[in-house]
A and B are shown apart, each in its own frame.
Chain A
């Protein structure tokens, strides 16, 4: 069964302490690996899409990478405003359908 698994479930970082979130996937024929940020009480906000191993994308303090088995979301020198739940998802065989992991709840304290 195709699925994505995220770790850790929760992560607490001090401001400026860089770290990585993991999304491992067992998907036959990956059609896209997606990263979203979700703040409490809001809908997910699109961050990145990765399609092939070796691909990298960056946005401010965030950098997403993809290998043949997993994706990492690297957070460099995080700030308290980076606190959120980060979700990864893979796209199903039917165009547009996304299947989400359970997320990593990130807390950055000053």
Chain B
């Protein structure tokens, strides 16, 4: 399975600021996703990161709040914009090959907004 890294691993940010989270994979992958895991909750899909085109967002998530880039097949970023305390969560990226179906997750970025 692919080795996935995320930066930063954790951060504490002030209300109203933005944070960009990076996801790097050690091999080319077809599909990349971003999830949010709020305290004590399960994972919620934010969006699918599409290479060379706009991300596909799930209901309840918008591009202005969570802009996503995917410049190539091994890298993606998620920005959490104009943060509020409600954005305090763990943000996870995941990858999958189109035929393999199995999805593998990065270690996550723990974000605290004060």
Whether B92 lies near A100 (C-beta < 8 A) is no
18 CB-based A-B contacts, threshold 8 Å: A41-B108, A42-B107, A42-B108, A43-B4, A43-B94, A43-B107, A43-B108, A44-B43, A44-B92, A46-B103, A49-B102, A89-B43, A95-B31, A96-B33, A96-B103, A98-B33, A102-B42, A103-B42
A82, chain B: closest CB distance, angstroms: 19
Whether A100 lies near B103 (C-beta < 8 A) is no
Partner-B contacts on A (CB < 8 A): 32, 34, 36, 41-46, 49, 87, 89, 91, 94-103
Complex Cα distance A68/B44, Å? 25
Residue of B nearest to A36 (CB): B105
Q: How many A-B residue pairs have CB under 8 A?
A: 59
Complex Cα distance A10/B49, Å? 33
Which of A32, A34, A98 has its CB near the most chain B CB atoms (within 10 A)? A98
Whether A97 lies near B45 (C-beta < 8 A) is yes
* Mask: chain B, 32-43; 1 = CB below 8 Å from A; 0 = not: 010000000111
* Mask: chain B, 14-43; 1 = CB below 8 Å from A; 0 = not: 000000000000000001010000000111
A22, chain B: closest CB distance, angstroms: 15
Whether B98 lies near A34 (C-beta < 8 A) is no
* Mask: chain B, 81-109; 1 = CB below 8 Å from A; 0 = not: 00000000000101010100111111110
Tell me the count of chain B residues lying within 8 A, CB to CB, of chain A: 25
B7, chain A: closest CB distance, angstroms: 14
User: Cβ of A100: which chain B residues have Cβ within 8 Å of it?
Assistant: 42-44
Residue of A nearest to B47 (CB): A97
* Mask: chain B, 73-85; 1 = CB below 8 Å from A; 0 = not: 0000000000000
Complex Cα distance A98/B43, Å? 9
Residue of A nearest to B1 (CB): A46
Complex Cα distance A42/B90, Å? 9
Whether A44 lies near B48 (C-beta < 8 A) is no
Residue of A nearest to B105 (CB): A43
Complex Cα distance A102/B41, Å? 6
User: Cβ of A49: which chain B residues have Cβ within 8 Å of it?
Assistant: 101-102
A47, chain B: closest CB distance, angstroms: 10
